[in-house]
Amino acid sequence: MRKSWVLPLLAVGMGMVADKGAQAAGQGPYVIPGVGPEQYSPQPQPAPQPRRANYGGGFLELLVTGRDPTGQRPQAAPAPEYRQEYRQEPMRAQRPAPVPMPAYSQAPPIQRAAYAPEMEPMSPVRRAIASEFQRQEVDYHGPHGAGTIVVDTPSRHLYLVQGNGRALRYGIGVGRPGFEWAGAKTITRKAEWPGWTPPPEMLLRRPELPKHMEGGPNNPLGARAMYLGSSLYRIHGTNEPHTIGQNVSSGCIRMMNDDVTDLYERVKVGTKVVVM
């Protein structure tokens, strides 16, 4: 009875050895006759897995390898939920607040030039001086000799006779209607940047005028004045040059400051003045 199970066992062992030899030689598995191949064919082995380094598991292995010690891939932590009151709103460009302008109680009044004593009323129209009223040398064939001042009221020109048929001609402002006059006078006094004291007759007509004004650029007598005899009339400059070439004065003869300064240097006290 012992021989009955030894022989089959020996045959199985020899078949396994032959099967391995056949596999080494590239042949199929050795099949024992009478025995099904599914019972003795070698079983497929799983593919070898790479050997992983051992860092001892725990937190250290998680830091180095990113692997969870339990063999599960770590999950990313969910983003924290912020409450509405802690969410930051995007920055908005803000315009700077306007700087308030300083408040002024009232703008200072405009200073108007004083009226000339012989100007009532003054024309409000400011215009450029026409070329005919610019200082220039012209022909002169009148009866008056050299050195005489001739005032041509209708044409609003003043002539300083030079002699030899020539004269210097200046543009002037003369008396308005009702204040014209004619006659011969002499220069009795000369003054630079004269002060002005309105005569009583002027103050009666113009009570708002100052009783006296010191000389200067704002003085209505201008840069120079030449007094005619003992009268209230003068040849003088003006702080309103736009009135040259017009009938606006109260009888005085007004000139532009540059012109009156030029005439002032050319004449002397005692010069004859003829007003026509």
Which residues are known to be catalytic? 236, 252
User: Helix/strand/coil (H, E, C) string of the chain?
Assistant: CCHHHHHHHHHHHHHHHHHHHHHHCCCCCCCCCCCCHHHHCCCCCCCCCCCCCCCCCHHHHHHHHCCCCCCCCCCCCCCCCCCHHHCCCCCCCCCCCCCCCCCCCCCCCCCCCCCCCCCCCCCCCCCCCCHHHCCEEEECCCCCCCCCEEEECCCCEEEEEEECCEEEEEECEEECCCCCCCEEEEEEEEEECCCECCCHHHHHHCCCCCCCECCCCCCCCCCEEEEECCCCCEEECCCCHHHCCCEEECCCEECCHHHHHHHHHHCCCCCEEEEC
The candidate with the shortest Cα–Cα distance to 237, out of 257, 251, 214, 265, is 257
